[in-house]
Amino acid sequence: MVKIKICGLSNPCDIETANVERPDYIGFVFAESRRQVTRAQAVTLRKLLSPDIIPIGIFVNETIPNILSVVCEGIIDVIQLHGLEDEAYIQRLKLLTGKPVIKAIGVKQRGDVQKWSTTTADYLLLDHTSGGTGKTFDWDLVGKVCNPYFLAGGLNSKNVTEAMQKTVPYAVDVSSGVETEGKKDPVKIREFIRRVRNG
C-alpha cells in the first residue's frame, strides 16, 4: 500500500488531526517557509505526536552539525534534503546520524530522476522544479525508477489517484493540497488519506 506523508505541520491542532487520521509520516519544516517551525516548537509537537507516526525533518542546504543536533534531540526519525546537497554530503549525513535520508529532486525533463539512480539516499522525493509551490509536474516524465520514492508537487484528493496510477510511488507527499487559507484542514486531510488508501 502507498504510504502517506502530510508535510508542514506546525501547531498542536495539526498534530491532533494527524493522530486521528494516521498518516504514515508527517513533516516538520526547519527551512525558511511559512510553515517553518523552530526547534523548540518541534520538540513540543513531537511529544504530542503518536509514536506510530514517523516524523521527518525538512532541510535546505543546512549544515550537517545542525541536522545532527536535531536528530540527537529525538525530534525526527528521517531527514529530507531540499537543497544542493551532493552525494558526499548525503553519505556523511547517513554515517553520522544513522537515519534514513530522502533527497528531493525537481523533475522538469525525462531522465532527471534516473540521474539519481546510484544515490545512497534511502528515498528520492520527486517534486516540481521549485519545491513547495503546490504545483504539479508532468508525471509522464518520471519514467522507470529503481529507487523507492515519494511523489510530491501539487497533490490533492482530486488528483492523487491518477498520480498513483501513473507513477507507482512508495509514498505520496502533500502539504498545500490539504490546506484552506494556508492552514491544515482536517476535512481535506481525511479525504486525501481516504483516497490514497482506497487506491
CA–chain centroid gap for 19, Å, is 17
Closest CA to 102 of 42, 56, 38: 56
Q: CA-to-CA distance for 82 and 30, rounded, in angstroms? A: 11
Active site residue 86: no
Active site residue 13: no
CB-based contact 192:23 (threshold 8 Å) = no
Q: Give the pairing of strands 123-127 and 149-151.
A: parallel
Closest CA to 125 of 145, 102, 155, 144: 102
Catalytic residue among 127, 146, 173, 185: 127
CB-based contact 100:125 (threshold 8 Å) = no
Q: CA-to-CA distance for 194 and 86, rounded, in angstroms? A: 36
If one counts every other C-beta atom within 10 angstroms of the C-beta of residue 81, the result is 24
Closest CA to 88 of 78, 76, 75, 101: 101
- What residues are labeled active site? 7, 127
